[in-house]
Amino acid sequence: MARGAVVPQPHRKAFANRRRDPASKREAVLKTAAQLFLEKSYRRTSLNDVAGRLNITKPALYHYFHNKEEILIGCYRWGTALIEKSLREIADHGGTGLEKVEAFIYSYANVMTVNFGRCVMRLDDGDLSSNALAEVRAYKRKIDRRLRSFIQEGIEDGSITPCDPKIAAFSIAGAVNWICRWYEPDGPLSAEEIASQFARTLTQGLVRPVGNKLRPAGAGKAARHASAS
């Protein structure tokens, strides 16, 4: 790990002086914690690491959070709020089941490229205490039910080919969730590109419709080489 080199924008400014602004300091802690949790995992990130990146010392953190887990929970809550927001937009989006699924994928994939969103699906929820764990699990189930209902809707309105909505939902959710494991903000792939091709591929499939005379469906860019995690 190179020193301060290209490390993603530390949020030190919030702690530059002792001005009393707990809100923005809490936020700064959460943002750098999220970065570190994604880089090294929750368990391998010590509170000294978090404090260090903010140019303060460990005990200072305890002015803003009661313990380490509360920081973790903060990341999860922020992330689920992001997801919630984007899912609400789809609800009153209208259209066929298939179109809703497509919108879901697009929107959800975008969230998976944002640090707090990534936390929700990438971090090990086994590090949560049982209460918080229950909360997170319940939320994940909610997302799953939503997606399944869109698929079910599509089967009923005839836009989606009959299948087991449960397995189909796992398949789609898996593809999208996995984004948070390989996406990197400064990588060659933009969130936009990913989200749109995911929405297309996962609904339309790979197969070329018979009688389709080479209409390049996505961006024409030849695959540049880059490594996945």
Partner DNA sequence: CTCATATCTTACCCGCGGGTAATATATTTG
Partner DNA sequence: CAAATATATTACCCGCGGGTAAGATATGAG
Residues in contact with DNA by CB under 7 A are 15, 17-22, 25, 44-48, 51, 55-60, 62-63, 66-69
Residue 131 to residue 125: CA distance in whole angstroms: 11
Segment contacting its own copies (CB under 8 A): 14-22, 50-58, 63-71, 155-163? 155-163
How many angstroms separate the CA atoms of 67 and 63, rounded? 10
CA dist 189 → 121, 180, 182, 199 (Å): 20, 13, 11, 15
- As given in the structure block, the two tokens for residue 94 are 């209208």
Does residue 61 belong to the site contacting its own copies (CB under 8 A)?
no
Q: What is the CA radius of gyration of the chain?
A: 20
Cα–Cα distance measured from residue 228 to residue 141, given in angstroms and rounded to the nearest whole number: 28
- Identify which of residues 91 and 167 has a Cβ nearer to its own copies in the complex: 167
Q: Among residues 158, 184, 185, 192, which is the contact residue for its own copies, using CB under 8 A? A: 158
Interface residues with its own copies (CB under 8 A)? 40-41, 43-44, 98, 101, 124, 126-127, 137, 140-141, 144, 148, 151-152, 154, 158-168, 170-179, 181-182, 189, 193-194, 197-198, 200-209, 212, 214-221, 223-224, 226-229
